[in-house]
Amino acid sequence: MTNPIFTRIEDDIQKSDVVLYMKGSPMFPQCGFSATVIEVLNHFKVDFEAFDILQDPALREGIKEYSEWPTIPQLYVKGEFVGGCDIIREMAANGELVGLFEQNDIKPKG
Amino acid sequence: MAMEATVIEEMIKESIPDAVVTIQDIRGNGDHYAAHVTSQEFSGKTRVQQHQMVYKALKGKMGDDLHALALQTSVPA
Find the CATH number of the domain harbouring A64: 3.40.30.10
Q: What is the pTM of this model?
A: 0.88
Q: How are the residues of chain B apportioned to helix, strand and coil, as percentages rounded to the nearest 5?
A: 30, 30, 40
Block means of pLDDT (10 residues each) for chain B, 77 residues, are: 83 96 86 92 95 91 80 92
Q: B42-54: per-residue pLDDT in tens?
A: 999 999 999 999 9
> For B48, which of A71, A83, A85 is closest by C-beta distance?
A83
Number of domains in chain B: 1
Beta carbons within 8 Å of A41's beta carbon, 6+ residues apart? A18, A20, A48
Q: How is the beta sheet containing A74-77 ordered, strand by strand?
A: A49-52, A18-22, A74-77, A80-83
Question: Has residue B15 been placed in a domain?
Answer: yes
* Domain coverage including residue A58: 4-103
pLDDT tens sequence across A66-110:
999 999 999 999 999 999 999 999 999 999 999 999 999 999 886
Residue A77 resides in a domain? yes
What backbone torsions phi and psi does residue B42 show, to the nearest 5 degrees?
A: -80, -15
d(CA A107, CA A61): 31
- Using a CB-CB cut-off of 8 Å, the residues of chain B touching A81 are 48
Mean pLDDT across chain B, nearest whole number?
89
CA distance B62 to chain A (A): 6
